[in-house]
Amino acid sequence: MLLTCLILVPLLTGLLCLVIRSRWFLEVLNLLAFSITLILGFMLARGVLIHGKVEEWNSFLYADALSAWMILLISFISLVSSIYAVGYLRRDLIAGVLTPAMFREFYVLTPLLTFAMLLVVVCNNLGVMWIALEGTALVSVFLVALYKQKTSLEAAWKYPGKSQTRNPIPQEILEEIRSII
């Protein structure tokens, strides 16, 4: 049940943030969720140290020492970045650089990114792991493009990879981006 809770906390937080309107509650919910995730990560690490591995759902979810270490890293970085984001995003919101919709988008996407990263680490099924890995790339692209400035949109297009001609962005997409901006 520990692995299930570990991946459900950020998933449910991201989904709950879709319907929450209060900026204060979005911040508190993210901080709480990432704190719980880190605590669950420490509980998992303890369980792995004692038993050698933790399995759930007939070994569909599986954690060994490397998985536990990765979960601790992901959970810690998620919590620290969430703490930093509170002041950073408030400042940008007050300055008018960030809109309330973009603010909410950030607080929806960050728990979903954490969920996808945790699922990659604990999933013992190659197909689901690949889908979760693609989910991390997809959510990352939206987070990179959050500010919707020329540089962030261009970086978001470059993020997934290079085209066959070795250009980071195909020329027709660059032209389309330039026409929008």
Indicate the pTM of the whole model.
0.86
Sequence spans of domains, the chain: 2-147, 149-181
Helix (H, G, I), strand (E, B) or coil at 141: helix
pLDDT attached to residue 170? 63
pLDDT attached to residue 148? 79
User: Secondary structure of 31-68 in the HEC alphabet?
Assistant: HHHHHHHHHHHHHHHHHHHHHCCEEECCCCEEECHHHH
Q: Is the pLDDT of residue 107 over 60?
A: yes
pLDDT attached to residue 179? 72
Q: Is the pLDDT of residue 178 over 90?
A: no
Nearest CA-CA partner of 30 in 105, 139, 131: 105
| Residue range 116-164, pLDDT digits in tens | 999 999 999 999 999 999 999 889 989 988 887 777 776 666 665 544 5
pLDDT attached to residue 165? 55
pLDDT attached to residue 175? 73
The single residue listed with the structure tokens 């978001």 is 156
Nearest CA-CA partner of 113 in 20, 40, 4, 17: 17
Q: What percentage of the chain has pLDDT greater than the value 70?
A: 85
| Residue range 9-38, pLDDT digits in tens | 999 999 999 999 999 999 999 999 999 999
